[in-house]
Amino acid sequence: MAYWLMKSEPEELSIQGLGTKGHARWDGVRNYQARNFLRNMAVGDQFFFYHSSCPEPGIAGIGRISEAAYPDPTALEPENPHFDPKASSEKNPWSAVDVTHVETFAKVLRLDYLKQQAALAELPLVQKGSRLSVMPVSAEQWAAVLALR
């Protein structure tokens, strides 16, 4: 099993929303490196659900990959903000995965707090210039974050 961190703006999808729905499609990723990480995910992998672009950015819970990568249908929907006019049903460069809710943390582990943790110094999230919406997390980093909840 591998571990990941995936970012979402709470207005789009929050950990609470995922908890209510139980499952969701994680789509709209339009960065090739982040897309490649999606393609590396396997059913059963777990991820930290990170709330981004909000008053309290941070890790808000845990999810699980319930379906491996498949072509992102939002790339083909002209009315969707993630529409890609270069994508077609024959050649869609973008991927989505399905996710399920595992746990909502009692409190968000804020980014400024995570940056203070020596055990997380190599986590891409806390490094300058890292803006990817999907990134790998090592087993050691996973354990360190779990110890902070």
Look up tokens 């974050």; give the residue: 145
pLDDT value, residue 130: 84
Whole-model pTM over 0.85: yes
Measured in degrees and rounded to the nearest 5, phi and psi for residue 118 equal: -60, -35
So where are the chain's domains?
3-148
Residue 70: name the closest of 43, 45, 46 by CA: 43
One digit per residue, pLDDT tens: the chain, 149 residues? 999 999 999 999 999 999 999 999 999 999 999 999 999 999 999 999 999 999 999 999 999 999 999 999 999 999 999 999 999 999 999 999 999 999 999 999 999 999 999 999 999 999 988 889 999 999 999 999 999 99
φ, ψ dihedrals at 46, nearest 5°? -115, 155
* Sequence-distant (≥ 6) Cβ neighbours of residue 89 within 8 angstroms: 71, 76
The pLDDT value given to residue 70: 98
Please give the CATH number for the structural domain made up of 3-148. 3.10.590.10
